[in-house]
Amino acid sequence: MNNRFRYIFVGFLLTFLSAWCGLVLLPVWGLGNFQQVPDPTTGEMIPPIMSPLEERGRDIYIANGCVYCHSQQVHPKRARNDVERGWGQRRTIAHDYMNQGKAQIGTMRTGPDLANIGVRNPSADWQLLHLYDPQITSRGSIMPPFRFLFERREVGAEGPSPKALQIPKQFSPPEGYDVVPTEEALALVAYLQSLKLSQYEVPNAEAARIDTEIE
């Protein structure tokens, strides 16, 4: 390798390293060590820590790529009217995500934002029906059905399972069968119910720290 290429090679590394420091190292330092803070009104530590069931639900959310159609970020008024749409009480800030483990903030809204779905639509029955077949609850939706997260069981002598979904007639399985959510479906719904990213009042210290306007 003659000298000339050596200089060029150092150039490759320096240009790369400059951005590496700015866009990898600084975010890790500045946004990678948040602590829980007490809620100003209730005194609870926020944001709450996920339960093992919710974590399992998040992993199912990840495995099935929900993020490719659903974002989890409420935007400020200046950018978009997420708050008016009812997608959250306020814009989300970095602190809100500290206990998510694997961030699923997303970049696509083929479907609605889910940052605050646990507040907006807490009904487990609705979520289960919607996952089983989105047409039941949201006619015209292009979300795929997740029937593979449910079991179709033959109704035995003991009658239908207490956990079986109450499916409207036109969508229900043939007579003598019922539809029971698997453990995975229940975990996924528990995760969805836990998504309350834009619910808490913004801790002032955190807002000041990240230098963003809250609206």
Partner 1 sequence: MTVEIQSEPVTPDEAEQRKQESIERRLEIDRAARWPVGIFIGSSLVWLLFGSLLAIAASIKMHDPEFLADNPWLTFGRVRPAHLNTVAYGWLSTAGIGIGLWILSRLCQVPIREQQSLTLAAVLWNLGNAVGTWGILRGDSTAVEWLEYPTYAAPFLLISFTFVMLAAFRMIRNRPPGHIYISQWYIMAGFVWLPALYFTAHGLLVLAPVQAPAQPPINWWYAHNVLGLWFTPIGLEAIYYLIPKIIGKPIHSYYLSIIGFWSLAFFYAWNGMHHLIGGPYPAWLITVSVVASIMMFIPVITVAINHHMTMVGNFRALRYSPTLRFVVFGAMSYTLVSFQGSITAIREVNYVTHFTHYTIAHSHLGAYAFASMVYFGAIYYIMPRLLEREWPSRWLIRFHFWPSAIGISIYFFILSWGGIVQGMAMNLSDTPFMEIVAATIPYLKWRTIGGTLMTIGHLSIFISFFWMVFDRRYRGAEPTLFSTKTPETPAPLPYP
CA dist 24 and 8 (Å) reads: 23
- 191: which residues sit within 8 A by CB, 6+ positions away? 50, 53, 54, 55, 56, 57, 58, 60, 61
Q: Which is nearer to partner 1, 85 or 163 (CB)?
A: 85
Chain centroid to Cα 65, Å, comes to 11
Q: How many residues line the site for partner 1 (CB under 8 A)?
A: 79
| Binder of partner 1 out of 54, 88, 92, 200 (CB under 8 A) | 92
| Binder of partner 1 out of 93, 117, 185, 192 (CB under 8 A) | 93
Is residue 12 close enough to count as binding partner 1 by CB under 8 A?
yes
Q: Which is nearer to partner 1, 152 or 163 (CB)?
A: 152
| Binder of partner 1 out of 51, 81, 166, 204 (CB under 8 A) | 81
Please name which of 46, 117, 48 lies closest in space to residue 82, comparing C-alpha atoms.
Answer: 117
List the interface residues with partner 1, window 59-78 (CB under 8 A).
61-69, 71, 73, 75-76
Distances (CA, A) of 211 to 4, 20, 126, 136: 44, 22, 38, 43
Is residue 8 close enough to count as binding partner 1 by CB under 8 A?
yes
Is residue 13 close enough to count as binding partner 1 by CB under 8 A?
yes
Buried b (16+ CB within 10 A) or exposed e, 9-32: eeeeeeeeeeeeeeeeeeeeeeee
List the interface residues with partner 1, window 32-61 (CB under 8 A).
32-34, 61
Task: Please identify which residue in the block is written with the tokens 């979904």.
Answer: 165
- 80: which residues sit within 8 A by CB, 6+ positions away? none
Is residue 205 close enough to count as binding partner 1 by CB under 8 A?
no
Q: Which is nearer to partner 1, 67 or 129 (CB)?
A: 67
Q: Which is nearer to partner 1, 156 or 199 (CB)?
A: 199
Give the contact letters, 96-135, x = binds to partner 1 (CB under 8 A), - = no.
xxxxxxxxxx-xxxxxx---------------------x-
Is residue 19 close enough to count as binding partner 1 by CB under 8 A?
yes
What CA dihedral angle connects 195, 200, 203 and 204, to 10 degrees?
A: 120
List the interface residues with partner 1, window 158-177 (CB under 8 A).
none
Shortest reach from residue 157's CB to partner 1, in Å: 29
